[in-house]
Chain A
Amino acid sequence: MSDTAAQPREDDAEEPKDPPDADESVAAETDDPSDTDGPVTGPVSTGAESVVAALEAAGAETAFGVQGGAIMPVYDALYDSSIRHVTMAHEQGAAHAADAYGVVAGEPGLCLATSGPGATNLVTGIADADMDSDAMLALTGQVPTEFVGNDAFQETDTVGVTRPITKHNYFANGADTVGDTVGEAFELSRAGRPGPTLVDLPKDVTQAETEETPGPAAPPAGTDPDPNADADAVEDAARAIEAAERPVCLFGGGVIKADASDAARTFARSYGIPVTTTMPGIGSFPEDDDLCLSWGGMHGTGYANMAITHTDCLIAVGTRFDDRLTGGIDTFAPEAEVVHIDIDPAEISKNVYADYPLIGDAERILEQLTAAVREAPDAEAWRDRCAEWKETYPLTYATPEDEPLKPQFVVEAFDEATDYDTIVTTGVGQHQMWASQFWTYTEPRTWISSHGLGTMGYGVPAAVGARVAADTMGEQDREVVCFDGDGSFLMTMQELSVAVREDLDITIAVLNNEYIGMVRQWQDAFYEGRHMASDYTWMPEFDKLAEAFGALGLRVDDYDEVAPAVEEALDYDGPAVIDFHVDPEENVLPMVPSGGANGKFATAEDQL
């Protein structure tokens, strides 16, 4: 039975489609592609060709995906396309790679999967992009329309499954319109607040003949909001900022998505306002700037959390006030008037009440505000207090000689060995926190992590996507470093095969603590040290596994092996994996217990 189920069924074995009618293609009103620079939508003869033409016209350059019966017509149309297709080992990898590609390139990422299991394998990556408001378009094959709803082979209600985790999704219902639908979905994913969109493509729709060349891609009416905030509201907010004694900026991921980092820097520096970021906002403001207090929240710095706790005016830009940031709402910036800048009106006063809501594009509004604030707030004493907190609560870790290698030391070693434009990706767990704490980020789009969903396994496929993006942008010189946990690496390490096949220059640093460490840390703090299912002493030897994949594999146990291994891996022209055996008992600190007060961060285990 399973044998036959795995066989392509009859409808999978395609009759070859009719060759495009020569007369018709001549009749179609398009120029000869060779005559022009940009991508040109040529004449199309099937729904699938229309899909690909729409993607090309929208400017898509790269797709990540896995083949399959229901998506085969689209792949066939990709055969002659200028779009580069990167075949991934697993559709989850395709979604994460597309997501990271989009973050690095500043364009919607594109991923493809077949119906049923292909589509469901995308789900985690779509949900991840949704939580982090990343622009992404997923195209899924679907069984032919006449079988939809009949539990046909490899059928899943993909539109139903992905409805709550997409910005919008579409079921394509005709070859004549499918190209326009795909173009609209692509543009919708980046219009206003970005997010993933999906188009489900029944096989009969992509196979059917059409002569309808898709029009220029545009988002649906009303989805590209006014970039400017209301002028009176800006004035009111400016007065509040001028009057503040303890102002703090809080820059979220929205600052990076809106390409507003420069405007944010100008604003904060013009008025001497200390800056904290959220974790997705890392890179929006340089962490080596005196005004920078790094990121706040559960594992953020003590000084960021002190500043957030004591501020009287919080200028929050492009953040949704996630509970990992706020801790308990009752104690979050309890005395602050809140200026909230966001493109999504639904974010205003969702979690934290906004005294001064400013709705629109972050870059635009920061420029409006910079023009409207006439006098810098009198915050000299406040800046001194922030500087004192920085002295009092630095990020530290103990490194006595006789202890096992500390993971934080590995992160710092990479940071020192690489340039400011290095892209860092991570899995989820302790290593993710160390990678964000002990690396000095100075540029937007260099910190690529799974924030809102917290998806273990994000790191390796994200590194693949980030590398492909950097290469596509002509930035072959940038390093891509993935910090991964042993547990996270094991979840998606099959994508290493893709990195080897595509000869992608990435370095994966596994901070191997033979635990799923973050869980072990919580078990020690809150479950009396009962290590239920968190003990990962059965991990394979990752350096040998890397070699089996055809990558460079290294193993490091001691401090004095760190720098040479880092150098060798970075120098290696292709994928390299270093299996760092680090202190299994090391914990991530500071820590605000969930729902606790940010100001009450613990700096030692016994304070939890």
Chain B
Amino acid sequence: MSGDSPDSRPATDGGSPASGGVPEADSRPMPSEQPGPEERNYPTGRRNLEGIRIDPVVEAEHESRRAVISALVEDEPGVLARVSGLVSRRQFNIESLTVGPTTVEGHSRITMVVEETDPGIDQIEKQMAKLKPVISVGEVSGDAVTSELVLLKVQADDPAAVHAVSEMYDGRTVDAGPETITVELTGDNASIDNAIGAFERFGIVEIARTGPTALARGNTPTAPGEKPGTAGEPTTHDD
């Protein structure tokens, strides 16, 4: 095929390989004749870390905030590994991740709390949406109902005081022995943190927290497009 005549494209640069011999010295400007990096003109504009052109008036970087993301997923093997792997690989700052079944057989809900900037939250949603088992994903609006379950084991030196504190926080004693008392608490983030603070004086032996789970208020769907489902019916649109 090289026997065919080559097409008439110009040589990119350099000598003249087609001549077959030693190339002639190049006639075009060599680096020494070109303006160096410092001798060139540059625009004054800039982008911030998020790749957004910096408006001289609002130069501020985005602040991170707490967001609750809810995803409806197909309950196939490995779905949690896919979601958590994605989140960790992309270095999103994840606070908690809970997962459990929905009213629809074969569907689960993943609730994730993240601490990210707005563009970061947007990326998390888009990346999750790319996963095949993810049916629908979105941020749960700010006034969502969120709740977390905590089991807390404290020293039983003063059982009456422990009982009083747990009443104050609507807790429930689930195990009591001569040495330790275990209390169950549920509530939103702030009340859980307060309760834990109050129990600290007894000496907390062990603690287990589930991380918050959430539902949108009223008729707002929790994941975008989600319809109230019952077993056997699709939770969202027909795919």
Contact = CB atoms under 8 A, between A and B. Distances in A.
A567 B2 contact: yes
Contact of A438 (B13, B21, B82): B13
Contacts of B30: 396, 398
Nearest to A419: B7
B13 A351 contact: no
Nearest to B48: A330
A419 B26 contact: no
- Interface-centre pick from A408, A413, A599 (highest chain B CB count, 10 A): A413
Contacts of B11: 412, 415-416, 440
A334 B2 contact: no
Interface in A312-370: 321, 329-332, 334-337, 344-346, 348-353
A394 B28 contact: yes
Contacts of A567: 2
B89 A309 contact: no
B127 interface: yes
Interface string B53-95: 1000000000000000000000001100110011001000000
Contacts of A562: 17, 20
B31 interface: yes
Contacts of A271: none
A159 B81 CA distance: 11
A478 B45 CA distance: 47
Contact of B9 (A337, A400, A408, A440): A440
B20 A345 contact: no
A90 interface: no
B36 A306 contact: no
A351 B49 CA distance: 9
Contacts of A222: 239
Interface string B16-56: 01111111111011111011111010111111111111000
Contact of B51 (A349, A439, A599): A349
B47 A306 contact: no
B78 to A, nearest CB: 7
Interface in A583-601: 589, 597, 599-601
B219 interface: no
Interface stretch (B118-126, B161-169, B171-179): B118-126
A589 B47 contact: no
B106 interface: no
Given A353-B52, A399-B15, 13 more contacts: A163-B78, A335-B43, A335-B53, A412-B14, A415-B12, A419-B7, A420-B7, A440-B12, A564-B20, A570-B2, A600-B38, A603-B36, A604-B32
Interface of B: 1-4, 6-7, 9-15, 17-26, 28-32, 34-38, 40, 42-53, 77-78, 81-82, 85-86, 89, 119, 122-123, 126-127, 129-132, 239
11 contacts: A287-B12, A334-B44, A334-B45, A353-B51, A396-B14, A396-B31, A400-B25, A559-B22, A560-B21, A571-B1, A603-B34
